[in-house]
Amino acid sequence: MRSTPHILVVNGTKVRRPVFILGSPHSGADLLARAVKRSKGFHLTMGRPGVLRVTYAFARRPSIAADRGRGAARVLRDAFAEAWQISGRACAQCPAECRDAAGFPPSAARAPGAADEPCVEPRDVHRFADASPDLIYSADVLLDAFPDAQLLQVIRDGRDVVADMLADERCMAWFKPGLANLDEVFPNPFLGVEDVADRVRWSRAAPAVKCALRWRGSVRLSARLRAQTPEEQLLTVRFEDLVSKPRKVAEAVSQYLDAPISTGAFDTLVRRGAPFPDDRRVGIWRERLTPRQVTQVERVAGVELGRLGYAPGRAG
């Protein structure tokens, strides 16, 4: 049962139907977030420290959220109440990815001593949103905290995801012995380790296998979320459609959110803009994964790849 709706006011604006963008690591959720962030009326944040502390606590130790019940929703709601504040001081806490998504120059390119400026005018904001990494693991708490929330989840071919994860030091760091908390948390949704067989092979598993387990775990969470969430509160977008049919995706997202999302923003960000480098092309796994790694990924997550339409041995 969802909690009683709570009226949250940020910058003098009531938070109604906040938008949260979810996906596995390197799913392409950040591309969708950029388009929403640059659309009129939205204030979207990404990776604010207070939000990350809470969401990673819930992601890495699900029992924390379960044990606290509605208290977990209150803690998460408070984290977003702080993150969505609009001021130069508040925006100074935004990571480089969030400022870049707004189209701001990187810190190194700003004049020495220049103050951080908000990415949006408070009076122009009607909707709030967030696309922090790994929100998928806090989806249930998000819906408890904001019963009227709208979720956007992005799905991508697991082989392309693994190819990108293997090249990302931050993603790979979670697999280090000092951070992998399997001894304390099992089953472990964050690492994708769900049964004894996964647990036994983890210590000797190849990096591609560990990345595949994380992708498989996230898409299983996405499937459960889809089964348990009303259609008006969850829209699934394929990364491949985001790349090949940006205008169609923009129209679908606009209709779902009942708010205009610029088709031009999609065109620029996805097809021509610098935020879309060559290594995010569809089917990049064919060039970057070895045959052995492809086999490893398909053995671990073949069922999920097939269910989602990514046939083994073929580009998505």
Domains of the chain, start order: 9-307 (3.40.50.300)
Cβ contact 316:240 at 8 Å: yes
The tokens 């949704």 sit on which residue?
189
Residue 127's SS3 state is strand
Give CA angle at 225 (222, 229), nearest 5°: 145
Identify the pLDDT of residue 213: 98
Instruction: DSSP letter for 115, please.
Output: P
User: Would you state the structure tokens that stand for residue 197, as one six-digit string?
Assistant: 């067989």
Query: In this predicted structure, what is the pLDDT of residue 269?
Result: 61
CA distances from 249 to 43, 152, 238, 242, 278 (A): 20, 12, 9, 6, 21
CA-atom Rg of the chain in angstroms: 19
Rounded distance between C-alpha atoms, residue 83 and residue 305, angstroms: 35
The β-bridge partners of 20 are 130, 151
Tell me the pLDDT of the chain (316 aa) as tens digits. 455 556 788 888 899 999 999 999 999 999 899 899 989 999 999 999 999 999 999 999 999 887 666 789 999 999 999 999 988 777 777 888 887 777 765 554 444 445 567 778 888 899 999 999 999 999 999 999 999 999 999 999 999 999 999 999 999 999 998 899 999 999 999 999 999 999 999 999 999 999 999 999 999 999 999 999 999 999 999 999 988 888 899 999 999 999 998 777 676 666 544 444 445 678 999 999 999 999 999 999 999 999 999 977 544 4
Give the whole-angstrom CA distance, residue 243 versus residue 38: 18
Whose structure tokens read 């086999």? Answer: 295
pTM for the model: 0.90
Q: 50 exposed, middle or buried (CB, 10 Å; 0-12, 13-18, 19+)?
A: middle
* pLDDT value at residue 102: 72
The residue to which tokens 């697999």 are assigned: 175
Q: Assess contact for 315 and 283: CB atoms under 8 A.
A: yes
Residue whose pair of structure tokens reads 């019940």 in the numeric block: 69
d(C-alpha 259, C-alpha 39), whole Å: 9
Q: What is the DSSP letter of 193?
A: B
Element (H, E) at 235: strand 234-238
| The pLDDT value given to residue 105 | 59
The per-residue pLDDT for 214 is: 97
Q: How far apart are CA 121 and CA 223, in angstroms?
A: 37
Alpha-carbon distance of 190 to 198, in angstroms, equals: 13
The angle subtended at Cα 306 by Cα 305 and Cα 307, nearest 5°, is 95
What gap in Å lies between CA 143 and CA 3, rounded to an integer? 8
